[in-house]
Amino acid sequence: MSTITFEFHGQLLRLAGVSEWALPLAVPATLADVLDQLAAARPELAAALVRCACAIGDRLVLRREPLHGGERIALLPPVAGG
């Protein structure tokens, strides 16, 4: 079994109280699958996870993205500005 590491930014960093969190990954899995696992493990993040963008490296990824293990996924909450 492999792992996925989530990196928290912005509001998610404040809610989580840590900069990253690792979860075991049973393949095959999609990003949506592991986000559901993260929400179950860290319920204080669940509402914010619905609205966040996800990136692997410098590439934004869709929730249907297949994962293979070892990925670092940056979770980017929406930003408001004027």
Strand pairing partners for 56? 59, 73
φ, ψ at 53 (rounded to 5°): -90, 155
- The pLDDT score that the predictor gives to residue 80 is 58
pTM, two decimals, is 0.91
pLDDT of 18: 96
CB 72 within 8 A of CB 48: no
Q: Which CATH class is domain 2-76?
A: alpha beta
Q: What are the domain boundaries of the chain? A: 2-76
Question: At 8, is the secondary structure helix, strand, or coil?
Answer: strand
pLDDT above 70 (res 81): no
Task: Tell me the per-residue pLDDT of 40-77, one tens digit each, with 9 for 90 and over.
Answer: 999 999 999 999 999 999 999 999 999 999 999 999 98
End-to-end CA distance of the chain: give it in Å, rounded.
45
39 in Cβ contact with 8 (< 8 Å): no
